[in-house]
Amino acid sequence: MTETDEKAGPPVTLVEPIDMSKLNRDFRREIQSMPDGDELSACFACSTCTAACPIANQWKYKPHQLIRMILLGMREEVLTSREIWECLTCFQCQERCPQNVRVTDILFDCKNLAAEEGHVPENILGLAKELLEKGQLYVVTADWEREDLDLEPEVPGLSTDEFKSILKGTRTGRLVGGDQ
């Protein structure tokens, strides 16, 4: 063997190392204290949830990784991740978990915490604002289309006023300024 003049640098890693000083030890307990967090610690990262998830291949953090991040206390990373908002809520992960970890429900809990801290994606806020203003996300038919089809100007019996009034008092209303 011959010696080389090149010095070996630090080992190459495929993932960024975790900054231990940024871990929030209370995050795990916070999630576990929620109604759906009982079995959180039972996760042994088997990846069954990720295998069941129809969109996991689109995510930076897979479902089993998000659960592991919660267990480690990576609060900021979890609550600011786009994955918690993109979950399809198909419950495939939760149905298949051999440890009965309520993965989908835990992601809902994370969304609620993220919303309380103001970490809501702009597209979600846009939908919430439209829902608050119109009482529905999709207009049944545009005015000119209704006229062309000889329909009444508004859908008979469709009143969204009560719904909009109720919605203004919810977290959704507060997030988009509907309580003002």
pLDDT tens string 40-98 = 999 999 999 999 999 999 999 999 999 999 999 999 999 999 999 999 999 999 999 99
- Binned at pLDDT 50, 70 and 90, residue 164 comes out as confident
Give the residue, 173 or 82, on which the prediction is more confident: 82
Q: Is it true that domain 20-116 has CATH number 3.40.50.1110? A: no
pLDDT attached to residue 173: 86
Give the residue, 85 or 172, on which the prediction is more confident: 85
Q: Residue 113 has which token pair?
A: 């915490």
Number of residues written out for the chain: 180
- Closest C-alpha to 52, from 81, 17, 88: 88
In the chain, which segments carry CATH 1.10.1060.10? 20-116
Whether 160 shows a pLDDT value over 90: the answer reads no
pLDDT tens string 117-155 = 999 999 999 988 888 888 878 766 677 787 888 887 777
Is the pTM higher than 0.85? no
Give the residue, 53 or 15, on which the prediction is more confident: 53
Scanning the structure block, which residue is given the tokens 């993220």? 114
